[in-house]
Structure 1
Amino acid sequence: MAGTGWIIQVNEDLKDMEGLSTEKHHWNKGSIYKLPASLTDINKKAYKPQTVSFGPYHYDPSNPMEEHKHRALLHFLKRCGKSVELFVDALAEVENDLKDSYTLLHSVPKEVTDIFLQLMILDGCFMLEILRTAAHVQLEDYAPNDPIFSNHGRLHVVPYIKRDMLMLENQLPMLVLEKLVAVEHDKAKDEGFVTKLILKFLCSCNVSPNMAKGVHVLDVYRKSLLQHEPDHKYIRHKIRSMERDDEIIWSATELNEAGIRFKKSATTSLKDITFTRGVLRLPVVLVDDTTESMFLNLMAFERFHVGAGNEVTSYLLFMDNIIDNARDVALLHSKGIIHNALGSDKAVANLFNSLSKDVTQDPDSSLQIVHKRVYHYCRKPWNSWRANLIHTYFRNPWALRLDIPYIPITVHQMNLLLPLSFSFRLLLLQIIHHPTPPPHQHL
């Protein structure tokens, strides 16, 4: 039988249970998550900062970077001519909101939570200094041989800080950076100022006018990857009505053999994947040593932050579908879609295949439409016939001859055969340059 104390506690909690609106507000507060061991144990290095910690989850006073944080704070204060008390007071006004951003702050040691505002100021000022110097904002008060805030630091230290800044457990609320900048300049800067600074540092990309505000650096970066909507030239179907059970998309090389051509999308948005008239357009992606950690943390954010969306996860599942091995990577690389700075094509294939492991596809993803169209295109006999003709007669120009046995014929008979041979060639050219099937087979 259940213990009496537990029964009493449940009844008391039931009386104090929050209403729906209060509960909804509670869940909206959190944005920086402590990830479960079931996720991080698979690849600890991808989720744990290696160079610098931001926020309370990975704070370690023995980390050598803590000394550089203190030094950066002094430079920051001296340059703006403001006392540290002004910054403490500004953040104290929103301390509860900042703490609510961390969903498992209670799991952090008490000695860390006791210095919460101190961490926010030290880490926030350090992050702003990194954003500015790495984005080539002139800060003349650092020595030219400074180990962090110099050309040397930009080359040898900042890349590792950038990687750590894109880890979900290693985030600062955007409110921290905005408050620090507001006190520094005696007024709030325009709403997109910090966002522009972040994107200039991370990817040198511009902010779209309709880009929503991010809750932290990782969220800002995610939104920058999804800024542009694809230009779909077809009518959207209701995704719910699709028959998806047996719709398996082929690998890139198999799709190419089936006559599908690959081209770069007009934008770099991960949502800009389209399929029209036998052409599959994909955004350009750079794959390097930081790609795995970056994508894993973006997927973790989509998984735990309700309402964030599933666009990055859907993109990676789609890429996993069309990449089976090194040949698929080589094909996409030849089309300018994958820029391989990781190493071998096999390593890139293994990366995409591992990223989507144990990940669930969103049935409402717009990529399901692309998936469906590619699948049905490959099932059309006309498209397979055309692809076979291309591969048979146009890969080798000598294959265009009429392959018939030698038979002695008269000049008159030759004159009759030549128009037929010419007509056959014209038919092949018509198929190549006009891939649209007859009206009754139109896709």
Structure 2
Amino acid sequence: MDEEWVIELNQELKRLKDEALVEECQWGKRSIYKVPTRMTDKNKKAFQPQVVSFGPYHHGEEHLMPMEEHKHRALFHFLERTNMSLQSIVDNLTKVVEDLKDSYDLLGDDWQSETGRFLRLMVLDGCFMLEVLCYYDRRDRFGNYAPNDPIFSFPGNLHVMPYIRRDMLLLENQLPLRVLIELAAGIYPEKRHAREFVNRLIFWFTKSISSDTRECLHLLDIFRKGMLWSSPIERRGGIIHIFDDCEITVSATELHEAGISFEAIGTGRTIGRIEEISFKDRVFRLPFLVVDDTTESMFLNLMAYERLHVGAGNEVTSYVYFMGTIIKNVRDVILLKSNYIIQNGIGSEEAVVELFKSLSKGVMYNPNSIVGWVLRDINVHRRKPWVKYRANFFHGYHVSTQWNPWAYWSIIFAILLFTLTVVQTAYTIFPYYRQNK
């Protein structure tokens, strides 16, 4: 006779078998996640919105409530400008509401059961996000808003929009891209035209992607793919190689002492991509990066997304790990600044060092990433004998100058003295050989 616990366990296994296919399908739809505590320990505020909530995770939080009034006003202006009816918006979103719910991991039971409440959230948050994207589109700046509007105006651009933009790139603060496309479908009935419209708006917002967004899931996903440009597997012909020789433990200054120079990929309006990182002819090319108050939040959310979303990849995480490796002290920051790799917008060079030290702590590094391939080439170069001698020579004098600035003059005088000695010896020996001849 079977034990009672055996019967219960068999029933549980049967239930799990019946639900397996359903769960697998649901997991494939998830793209917006609550960040676990183990990932937020570095900086909890980096994952929390400061001025506006999008989606269910942070909706209703007290410090975000003032923006709710502006969401209603944005909906009014959106409907007025597009000549759409509220019912048409609701009808479009109702058709896909279950898919929208499935996009959220750990969606609360209240949001699951109260479909009307969830739709209301998607309408208000979606229209507000679309209005912000329209604002960033230079052809539609300020739209039909008043010149003194608190958000969509020149003063709002200076004091509020930077915080909204920062909140729109938080993992827990995303809306499924399908919400924006369904809203745009009210303006452009053909889905192709609606998607092209959203693509244009997102291009101006992210300044990082201009291709089709059919494979993208939300704004953070689009922003990340814009940083990459393409996957490393595509770049290497679809073949995956794992190298043991793609670690690096030296700083940017030590690489420079080994005869490696740095060159920026993209400056100003041009965006450099991680996929473009390369090392050739002793030139290490790295993307131009503005380090400001939003950098930590941006990278932490991108790395959290790469960890939580299966198949997302590890490219941004590997890039952050690498930057934390080569930036060991102030001299490294100054070197990268002088080569236009970094633009420091947070004040002191020490702050930049501490930022990347914190970001890269405990990070898992992917040796098959784009950075891994490039580091392998650098390590091959660094093992050459003449490169080792050059690096040791310059490093020795760099260290000595930290306590004795006359060290550089001493080597110059030594070289000069050696040259004069050679010349004097030549003039002494030359008459002797000439007389014998």
TM-score category, normalised to shorter length: 0.7 to 0.9
The yes-or-no answer on 1:260 pairing with 2:260 is yes
The yes-or-no answer on 1:180 pairing with 2:196 is no
Aligned partners of 2:171 and 2:305 also within 8 Å: yes
SS of 2:274 mapped into structure 1:
coil
- Unaligned 5+ runs, structure 2: 398-406
Distance 1:236 1:29 in 2: 26
The counterpart of 1:401, out of the listed 416, 421, 425, is 416
Sequence identity (%): 47
Root mean square deviation of aligned Cα: 3.4
The counterpart of 2:241, out of the listed 235, 239, 245, is 239
The yes-or-no answer on 1:207 pairing with 2:210 is yes
Aligned partners of 1:32 and 1:168 also within 8 Å: yes
| Corresponding residue for residue 133 of structure 1 | 135
Q: Structure 1 residue 398: deviation in Å? A: 5.6
Aligned partners of 2:49 and 2:170 also within 8 Å: yes
Q: Structure 1 residue 138: deviation in Å? A: 4.1
1:333-360 CA-to-partner distances (Å, cap 9, x unmatched) read 1111011001111111111111122221
The yes-or-no answer on 1:149 pairing with 2:152 is yes
Q: Structure 1 residue 221: deviation in Å? A: 0.8
Q: Structure 1 residue 147: deviation in Å? A: 0.5
How has the CA–CA distance of structure 1 residues 115 and 377 changed in structure 2, closer, same or farther, with 3 Å as cutoff?
same
Distance 2:225 2:371 in 1: 18
Q: Structure 1 residue 118: deviation in Å? A: 0.4
SS of 1:105 mapped into structure 2:
coil
The yes-or-no answer on 1:39 pairing with 2:42 is no
Distance 1:261 1:377 in 2: 13
Q: Structure 1 residue 228: deviation in Å? A: 6.0
| Corresponding residue for residue 288 of structure 2 | 284
Equivalent residues in 2 for 1:357-368, closer than 5 Å:
357-368=361-372
- Unaligned 5+ runs, structure 1: 418-443
| Corresponding residue for residue 352 of structure 1 | 356
How has the CA–CA distance of structure 1 residues 243 and 252 changed in structure 2, closer, same or farther, with 3 Å as cutoff?
closer
- Aligned-partner residue type, residue 286 of structure 1: V
Distance 1:44 1:254 in 2: 34
1:197-251 CA-to-partner distances (Å, cap 9, x unmatched) read 1230233x45147x76321011111111112689x9999996325356xx54311
Q: Structure 1 residue 179: deviation in Å? A: 0.5
The yes-or-no answer on 1:299 pairing with 2:303 is yes
Across the two proteins, how many residue pairs are aligned to each other? 410
SS of 1:213 mapped into structure 2:
coil
The yes-or-no answer on 1:384 pairing with 2:399 is no
The yes-or-no answer on 1:160 pairing with 2:176 is no
Distance 1:272 1:287 in 2: 19
TM-score (norm 2): 0.83
How has the CA–CA distance of structure 1 residues 66 and 416 changed in structure 2, closer, same or farther, with 3 Å as cutoff?
farther
Aligned partners of 1:233 and 1:276 also within 8 Å: no
1:360-394 CA-to-partner distances (Å, cap 9, x unmatched) read 11232232222222223222212123456788899
Q: Structure 1 residue 181: deviation in Å? A: 0.6
Distance 1:295 1:364 in 2: 20
1:301-338 CA-to-partner distances (Å, cap 9, x unmatched) read 11111111111111111111111122111111111101
How has the CA–CA distance of structure 1 residues 238 and 385 changed in structure 2, closer, same or farther, with 3 Å as cutoff?
farther
Distance 1:254 1:2 in 2: 68
| Corresponding residue for residue 330 of structure 2 | 326
SS of 1:18 mapped into structure 2:
helix
Aligned partners of 1:285 and 1:337 also within 8 Å: yes
Equivalent residues in 2 for 1:43-192, closer than 5 Å:
43-60=43-60, 63-106=65-108, 114-136=116-138, 137-188=140-191, 189=193, 191-192=195-196
Q: Structure 1 residue 404: deviation in Å? A: 7.1
- Aligned-partner residue type, residue 413 of structure 1: I
Q: Structure 1 residue 140: deviation in Å? A: 4.6
Distance 2:214 2:362 in 1: 29
Distance 1:278 1:2 in 2: 71
Q: Structure 1 residue 7: deviation in Å? A: 2.9
Distance 1:237 1:277 in 2: 25
Distance 1:409 1:74 in 2: 92
Aligned partners of 2:176 and 2:217 also within 8 Å: yes
The yes-or-no answer on 1:343 pairing with 2:347 is yes
How has the CA–CA distance of structure 1 residues 64 and 47 changed in structure 2, closer, same or farther, with 3 Å as cutoff?
same
| Further displaced range: 289-298 or 221-230 | 221-230
